[in-house]
A and B are shown apart, each in its own frame.
Chain A
Amino acid sequence: MTGQIIPADNHVVRTVGKEKWDEVQMESGTKVRIANDEFLPREDHPPGTGPEESVSVDWLEYFSGTLPIQLRQVRDAVAARRPSGKVGKQAQLAVVVVGDVHAAAKKGGKQVRVKTTGDETDPSHSGIYGLGPYDHIISQEIALRAVAYPAYPANP
């Protein structure tokens, strides 16, 4: 099934393991920042097949409710499609506006598509298509615009 294009004013969510986020001491204070490579397709994934086709994300607005409720549903959807059935306790959910993804790509001379994967059993699952594994500047621009939320908030 062909994926559905996600509107520019909607959001996608990347689930980020603890090795890909850290607290960064900025002039404005300490903030959680996401590594740019979280927004890059892997060089060889699945192994032996070459670059990954897209960056796996979830469509936030597919789910209804307040932001915390939407994020919880994203987390559960991600866990459900993983072999382990889990999302790490220290993971972060990096939320980015789809329009910002397009703008970052355009700045780097690329055009991307952000759309669902078309999997009817996992309708929120989406991808950022059109980036290569070495698009560091574009991915850094996207990472800058991502807002991180703990996958397991202290006060859910």
Chain B
Amino acid sequence: METAEIAQQILGKQARIKHAVAVASAVASGSVGDDEQPASYFTIGQDYTTSENQKQPMVVDLGSDSTLGSIVILVPSAGMLPPESGQIEAAVYFSPGSWQSDVFERWNVVSLFEGWRPTLFREYTEDLEKEDLEVDEGSPAAGTIDQLTNELRSGSDPQLAQISAQLETAKSYLPSRTVDRLKRRFEFLFEPEEEEEIRISPGSVAQLLRFLRQDRKFRCPSIFITDRQNVKAIWQASENKIFWIEFEPSGDVTYLAFFPNEKRSDGVERQSALSTVEDVLDRAKQAGAVSWMRK
């Protein structure tokens, strides 16, 4: 069955949607089901937990592929929900022809960034205009819409547009120089090359930002992309002071720590282990790495 036909069956319609605007607050990016695929959507805007920002619409970028994109609210199958998450709504979309074209069937459940929350969207089939959304000129959301619209119209890489939008959101909780440095790095990675194109999981980027959010004093790490399309963030002060984290979209991480230990004959203790984005900061603290991960 063609992807479009599957879409029609499940969605009951075939929409040509470029953007969707969340009309209720409380959505963030996340990973998908138990397949650890990147999130299929993310929100734009400021910290949506504040009452002030709940007045701002949140925009979901469906990528630059205008041939097909749909978004729907559905109740995922209970078997794929995490324990005790209950029957709640989740959103999915797909866009055949884009880099995500082959994952629709698996993307019927979305685990949200920080818990499971209901979401509603208003769909837009045309380019976003600030007037349509009744966004205040000069507001963060207006800036984001400008950026998204320009990027989509310029035909830039949809992955970069998505990551740029994630970083735009991060400006509300990370130092601007960290966000700017990350943005420059991702733009560099997406510059056209003769070699095969680079793919980066937006879900992995979301987990990186989630980690950085825990301590505003962190200096911006160096960023590498793994063969699994994950972001690996590295802080290295010297040859015996290294801490890196590879972020899976699911929130799982692999980390490595090299840190001084005078009791060892070579003076360096080395660890590598599997953990989670919630716990890895504690591992960094135990390794004494936080001091040199900061400015």
Docked pose: A19 CA to B239 CA in angstroms: 21
In the complex, which residue of chain A has the Cβ closest to the Cβ of B246? Answer: A37
A27-B237 CB under 8 A given contacts A19-B224, A20-B225, A36-B256: yes
Q: B223 to chain A: which residues have CB within 8 Å?
A: 22
CB B232 to nearest CB in A, in angstroms, measures: 6
List A residues 7-31 near B (Cβ within 8 Å). Answer: 17-28
Q: A24 to chain B: which residues have CB within 8 Å?
A: 222, 234, 236
CB B193 to nearest CB in A, in angstroms, measures: 5
A125 at the binding interface (Cβ < 8 Å): no
Contact pattern, A 135-156, Cβ under 8 Å of B = 1, otherwise 0: 0110010001000000000000
Q: A115 to chain B: which residues have CB within 8 Å?
A: none
List B residues 215-258 near A (Cβ within 8 Å). Answer: 219, 222-228, 232, 234, 236-239, 241-242, 244, 254, 256, 258
Cβ A88 vs Cβ B195 within 8 A: yes
Cβ B194 vs Cβ A86 within 8 A: yes
Q: How large is the interface on A (under 10, 10 to 19, 20 to 34, 35 or more residues)?
A: 20 to 34
Q: How large is the interface on B (under 10, 10 to 19, 20 to 34, 35 or more residues)?
A: 20 to 34
Cβ B237 vs Cβ A137 within 8 A: no
Cβ B272 vs Cβ A89 within 8 A: no
In the complex, which residue of chain A has the Cβ closest to the Cβ of B274? Answer: A134
List A residues 28-63 near B (Cβ within 8 Å). Answer: 28, 33, 35-37, 42-43
Cβ A136 vs Cβ B224 within 8 A: no
Q: Which of A19, A35, A136 contacts B254 (CB 8 A)?
A: A136
Q: Which of A43, A87, A107, A136 contacts B227 (CB 8 A)?
A: A43
CB B32 to nearest CB in A, in angstroms, measures: 21
B185 at the binding interface (Cβ < 8 Å): yes
Q: B225 to chain A: which residues have CB within 8 Å?
A: 19-20
Q: A121 to chain B: which residues have CB within 8 Å?
A: none
Q: A66 to chain B: which residues have CB within 8 Å?
A: none
Cβ A22 vs Cβ B195 within 8 A: no
List B residues 88-103 near A (Cβ within 8 Å). Answer: none
Cβ A25 vs Cβ B219 within 8 A: yes
- Interface positions of A (Cβ within 8 A of B): 17-28, 33, 35-37, 42-43, 84, 86-91, 107, 136-137, 140, 144
Q: Which of B198, B219, B222, B270 contacts A137 (CB 8 A)?
A: B270
Q: B256 to chain A: which residues have CB within 8 Å?
A: 36, 136-137, 140
A22-B238 CB under 8 A given contacts A86-B194, A136-B254, A140-B258: no
In the complex, which residue of chain B has the Cβ closest to the Cβ of A89? Answer: B193
Docked pose: A131 CA to B185 CA in angstroms: 30
Cβ A22 vs Cβ B222 within 8 A: yes
Docked pose: A25 CA to B233 CA in angstroms: 13
Q: Which of B198, B219, B236 contacts A33 (CB 8 A)?
A: B236
CB B253 to nearest CB in A, in angstroms, measures: 12
A20-B224 CB under 8 A given contacts A86-B195, A136-B272, A140-B242: yes
CB B294 to nearest CB in A, in angstroms, measures: 12
Q: A21 to chain B: which residues have CB within 8 Å?
A: 224
Docked pose: A89 CA to B222 CA in angstroms: 20
A-B contact list, 12 entries, CB within 8 Å = A19-B198, A20-B225, A22-B185, A22-B224, A23-B222, A24-B222, A26-B236, A33-B234, A37-B227, A86-B194, A87-B195, A144-B239
